[in-house]
Amino acid sequence: MSLTHPSPNFGERRGRGRVELVVLHYTAMPSCAAALERLCDPAAEVSAHYLIDGDGTVLSLVHEAARAWHAGVGEWRGEGDVNSRSIGIELANTGREPFAEPQMAALERLLAGVLSRHGLGPEAVIAHSDMAPERKGDPGARFDWRRLALQGLAVWPDPEANTATDQASFAADLRAFGYPDSTAGALLTAFRLRFRPWAAGPLEAADCALAAGLRRFAVDASRTDA
């Protein structure tokens, strides 16, 4: 089910004004109703284009042509003001529980439409933690990125064989894909939240192998864009 519930918290897109990214979030609030109230509160000065409840209800809050206030400070592919070049989707979830099946199914339908409308590929779908690794952790370790990737709605890299554990190469590979310059710890945490949420401890060869796979994907994507 889709409903319209306009939020007053939006503005005009700046710069090129073109949608280039889709940023996924969790609300980190006890209920969808509480999140909706906050996303529509002028005093809060936050919003998103869409909010998806656990039962699969999609709430449209800000028109896709407008600039919602969901991303905050951060960057992707060397550019800031992510709000002006993205669609923001909030998922009602505290961050501590799995994302419900109806909610994931609704997200998949919504993402397919957004990507089609804006001519975007799966590499355009990122986590809030990807673009702001120093300060954000959503949609978190319980979110199923591989499920989206299997449907062409996100990316999942093939690991590069015979990859050594090397911090400099790991950081360079993530930057090539789009991650911002961040501390080594923040980059590793953000990367693992999305691609190896079960991993712990220092950087491993498995991290580097997947990061190298992301670099190859980014090169392919840039060639396609050209």
Known catalytic residues are: 90
Task: Report the side by side order of strands in the sheet with 58-60.
Answer: 2-4, 58-60, 50-52, 86-91, 21-26, 125-127
The identity of residue 102, as a single letter, is: P
Tabulate helix, strand, coil % of the chain (nearest 5).
40, 15, 50
Q: Under DSSP, is residue 126 helix (H, G, I), strand (E, B) or coil? A: strand
Per residue in 31-54, is it b (16+ CB within 10 Å) or e — as a string?
ebeebbebbbeeeeebbbbbbbbb
Nearest alpha-carbon partner for 95 in 127, 123, 132, 59: 127
Alpha helices by DSSP H, listed for the chain, are: 32-39, 101-118, 128-131, 145-150, 167-177, 184-195, 205-225
**CA-to-CA separations, 55 to 88, 171, 176, in angstroms, rounded:** 19, 38, 37
| Rounded distance between C-alpha atoms, residue 190 and residue 2, angstroms | 31
